[in-house]
Amino acid sequence: MKLHHLAASVAVLTLALVGCDNKSELKTPAQKASYGIGLSVGKSLSSEGMDDLDAQAVALGIEDALKDEQRVADEELMEAFSFLQERAQERMAALNDETARAGADFLVENAKRDGVKTTESGLQYEVLEDASGAQPKLNDSVSVHYHGTLIDGSVFDSSIDRGEPIEFPVGAVIPGWVEGLQLMNVGAKYKFYIPSDLAYGAQSPSPAIPANSTLIFEVELLDIPSQSVEDEKDTEAAD
């Protein structure tokens, strides 16, 4: 995280702390909105490893600013920001390494289970319900229902929970999905176990998915609503 990003986040956090204390009942809309700002920024900072900020010191800083006072010199503040940033980066690197190791260990054990198949790329899949419908190709669009979890069972996304399937081009998703979908037939339900390098790798798409995560998806292929021109020609030739 850049220093100016950290400073801006802390500045927003201080606004949420003005006029509040631990005994605040948070009754008024302004109090609730202020709390929500602080909660949101706090979660964001924590997700980036900045979880050792002192809320009372933050409140003291905004109080001094309102009085046009300053207890710590700018140079010391910049040194402190740099220190916290380095600590946050070290913590996140350690966490990312642990996530990667846990995912690799999980896949090793998972590959031993009956019914789990592993492709050359490292994708693991399990056929929950087989079917004999058409198979999608790379340039097709598909309609699916899915339920996505981390290896600890935490749900990060689910069209099933939302009650609405999703439609997208096969080639527009993560590599594990691109490969896995082309193994399926319409009407089938598979379970994908996707190594991090076939998912999002070191990049976290959301706080719900830590970097280097191995992902698990239950996927039901509902339809191929948009076939590529090549697929249509193949179908016509078969007829």
**Which residues belong to the active site?**
146, 156-157, 174, 200, 217
d(CA 184, CA 182): 5
N-terminal to C-terminal alpha carbon distance within the chain: 58
CA-nearest of 115, 100, 137, 110 to 193 is 110
Q: What's the token pair of residue 186? A: 């319409």
Give, in order, the Cα–Cα distances in Å from 218 to each of 74, 101, 188, 228, 235.
53, 23, 11, 25, 29
The C-alpha atoms of residue 150 and residue 128 are separated, in whole angstroms, by: 19
CA-closest candidate to residue 145, choices 132, 155, 158, 133: 158
The helix (H) or strand (E) run that includes residue 189 is strand 189-194
Q: How many CB atoms lie within 10 A of CB 38?
A: 19
For residues 119 and 133, give the distance between their C-alpha atoms in angstroms, rounded to a whole number.
Answer: 22
Token pair listed for 47: 């997700």
Report which residue type is found at 121: S
> Do residues 21 and 15 make contact, with C-beta atoms less than 8 angstroms apart?
no
